[in-house]
Structure formats: structure tokens, C-alpha cells
Amino acid sequence: MHKRRVNELRLQLVIEPAGPILIKSGVESGADPTLPSMNFVRTNHPRSGRRTIYLPGSSLKGVIRSHSERILHTMLAGSQTRVCNPLSRNDNCASRLREQEIVDTAQQYRAMCPACRTFGHMTNASHFFSADAYPAAAIDELPVRQNVAIDRLSGGVAVGPFDMEVALTGKFGTRLLLYNFELWQVGLLALALRDIAAGRVRVGFAKSRGLGEVRLYLAQMEVSYPGRFGGGDFAFDQTLYGVGALAPDLLADYGYVGADDRVAYGREGHMDESGAVWGRPSIRFGLAGDDPEGQSTPTLEASHQEIMGVLTSTMAPWTAFIRQQGGVTV
Ligand SMILES: [Zn+2]
């Protein structure tokens, strides 16, 4: 990816268990019979320093990526556009780029599937980051559930019963960052987050046995344009601009969708007036504060609705992209 950063989308969100969830730690209790045999992953809380369970950013990114791939696979089913199959060794961008010996980053970007363009792959860095999610206050004590592993062939008990720690409550706050994005990528992210928010996507361990149902609330959205002083031809307070609109010189090399990659928010956001002075105009939607995990559910629901309303504006460039790729939109 080119070094210049032209746009940034930051989302603050809150994830809440809607039933038992377990993000397994790599450390098992081994021979100690007093410990549950499957433990929730723990670290030190960034504010209090206390021992706490958390949702690792890599797990969240994995959930968002795999659901985004599912969406792309569905919509591009009849088209020529390939989408990485993470379950196959050869049917993915990494092996295709290696075979075709493509090393130039702009060329790689053009050759990659929509999922890898957004979430990165082995040699081409990601435009998307997910931070670790922490509860408002440390949670160390968890209920323990018994579970058994069922043998797929006989239907009998294969292993167990074994103990597992599950989280049932807590508001886990985290941040997502997408930069140098095209608007269809924001649309894809919005669709994935909408499905997770609606409880259609499970996270963590034993998903097929009913674990991992969560709720997700978008608490704050901020869009920034680094390196811009004043608006010029741009209306940063009203319009969301994709990388093609901001860096037309890179259009041909990277194969971006176009210089007209822009869409009106259609809603009033909060413009940071000092941003342009410092070379970084920014507009914010949703909560003003910095501690979404400390907010009540109705407050979070209200900002979630507001931000989903703003993100609806990206459905037009998203469907245009899918059609351009030969996919089907209804
Ligand atoms: Zn790919």
C-alpha cells in the first residue's frame, strides 16, 4: 500500500454476550483438577491493571473477516471475481500472487480479491485493524459449565464431560480502524457489523453447540482526512470520500473504483472545527465520550441506530461495486 494515508474511519463499539461465550485461552489446566479444563483468555486490564477476561482483537478481526467473506461469496457467486477460500490451501490470493510472481504493491492490490484488499493477506498489509475489547471493569470470576464432545459418527460421548468457563455478562469496548478505504469497503464492513449486531454471527468456542451469541452496538464513528487543510473542493462535513476521490493520481495504479467515489452522509454529524487548522478535518457521529463500555444499553442502542443510519449511505457504492464485479444485488 502507498505510504500516504488519505482517509480514516474509526468505530468505537461495544460487544455484549447474549448467552454463554468462551474465547479459549491457549493455556489449559492440565493435571490440576481444581481448575476448569477450558479457560477464558485473560490479560491485565489497561486501566486498573487487574486480571480480566477480554476479547482479543485478532479474534474480532477473524469474525468480521470470515463473515465479510461469506457475504462476498454469496453476492459474487455467479461472477468471475474470486474471493479467497480460507479453507483451501491453493484457492487464495497469497498462492495466486506467488504463482504469478506479482511483487509490486499496487499490482498486488489490483490482483487481490475484495476480502484481501480490505483485510490484507500475507504480503500485502491490512487496511483494517481491530483492538482488544475490555470490559468497563475487570472480570476475573466466571461461571463454569459442563460440556461433552459428541462423536460425529456414533452420536455417543467422545470426550468429557469437561468443564469450561463462560462469560454471560459484561460490556466489552473496542475500536476498529479502516484507512485508505474505498466506499464499497465501508459498505461491506457495515453489512458484517449489522449481522453481528443482530446476533446472526457467533464468536469463539463451541458455536455449533449454541455458544457465542453476542450483541454489538456501534457507539461512535469518526471519519478523518489526514493532511487536509480547509475544505477546498471537498465538503468534509457532508460527504464521505473514498480513496479514489482523494488521491486521483493513484486511481490507475491501484484500480480504485473511481474519482467519484463519494457519498453524502444525509445526516448531521459533529465537525471538529480545529481539525482543518491542524491538517486533519474530522467528523463524528454517535456518542461524544470515550468510554462506550460505561454507557447504558438504551444510550448505546440510540447511537447504534444513528450510526447505522449514516452507514446506510454506503449501500449505494457497495451495490455498484458488486454489479461492476459481475455479482447480483437484489
Ligand atoms: Zn483474497
Q: How far is the CA of 95 from the centre of ligand 1 (A)?
A: 9
What pLDDT, on the 0 to 100 scale, is given for residue 86? 67
- Rounded to the nearest 10 degrees, the angle between the axes of helix 183-197 and helix 297-311 is 150
pLDDT, mean over the chain: 89
pLDDT of residue 91: 77
Q: For residue 163, what are the β-bridge partners?
A: 146
Question: Cell triple for residue 86?
Answer: 480460507
The three grid cell numbers given for residue 15, joined into one nine-digit string: 460487544
Q: What is the distance in A from the centroid of ligand 1 to the CA of 89?
A: 12
- Which one is predicted more confidently, 101 or 214? 214
Per-residue confidence band for 125, with pLDDT thresholds at 50, 70 and 90 = confident
Ligand 1 is a single-atom ion; what residues have CB below 5 A from it? 84, 93, 113, 116
CA of 196 to the centre of ligand 1 (A): 22
What's the pLDDT tens digit per position in 249-307?
988 888 898 889 999 998 999 998 788 788 899 999 999 988 899 999 999 999 999 99
pTM over 0.75: yes
With CA atoms as reference, report the closest residue to 199 among 188, 182, 212, 184.
212
Distance CA 279, CA 276 (A): 5
pLDDT one-digit tens code per residue, 49-62: 999 999 999 999 99
Single-letter amino acid code for the residue at 276: A
Task: Identify whether the C-beta of residue 67 lies closer than 8 Å to the C-beta of residue 192.
Answer: yes
Q: Which residue has the cell 455484549?
A: 16
Q: How far is the CA of 192 from the centre of ligand 1 (A)?
A: 17
Question: Cα(256) to centroid of ligand 1, in Å?
Answer: 16
d(CA 174, CA 212): 18
Q: Determine the distance separating the centroid of ligand 1 and the alpha carbon of 201, expressed in angstroms.
A: 21
Interval between CA 248 and ligand 1 midpoint (Å): 25
Distance 272 CA to ligand 1 centre (A): 36
Give the cell for residue 328.
Answer: 447480483
Distance 115 CA to ligand 1 centre (A): 5
Cα(177) to centroid of ligand 1, in Å? 20
Distance 121 CA to ligand 1 centre (A): 7
Ligand 1 center–CA 116 separation, angstroms: 4
- Tell me what pLDDT residue 162 has: 79
34 CA to middle of ligand 1, Å?
Answer: 45
Q: What is the pLDDT, as a whole number, of residue 17? A: 96
Under a CB-based contact definition with an 8 Å cutoff, are residues 4 and 186 in contact? no
The more confidently predicted of residues 209 and 42 is: 42
pLDDT the model gives residue 108: 86
CA of 218 to the centre of ligand 1 (A): 27
- In the Cβ-directed half-sphere of 301, how many Cα atoms lie within 13 Å? 4
3-state SS class at 194: helix
Q: How far is the CA of 241 from the centre of ligand 1 (A)?
A: 24
Q: How far apart are CA 227 and CA 146, in angstroms?
A: 55
Query: What separation in Å is there between the alpha carbon of 69 and the centre of ligand 1?
Result: 9
Task: Quickly count helices (H) and strands (E) in the chain.
Answer: 10, 13
Domain residue limits, the chain: 8-324
Torsion angle of alpha carbons 82, 88, 91, 96, nearest 10°? 130
Q: How many whole angstroms separate alpha carbon 266 and alpha carbon 264?
A: 5
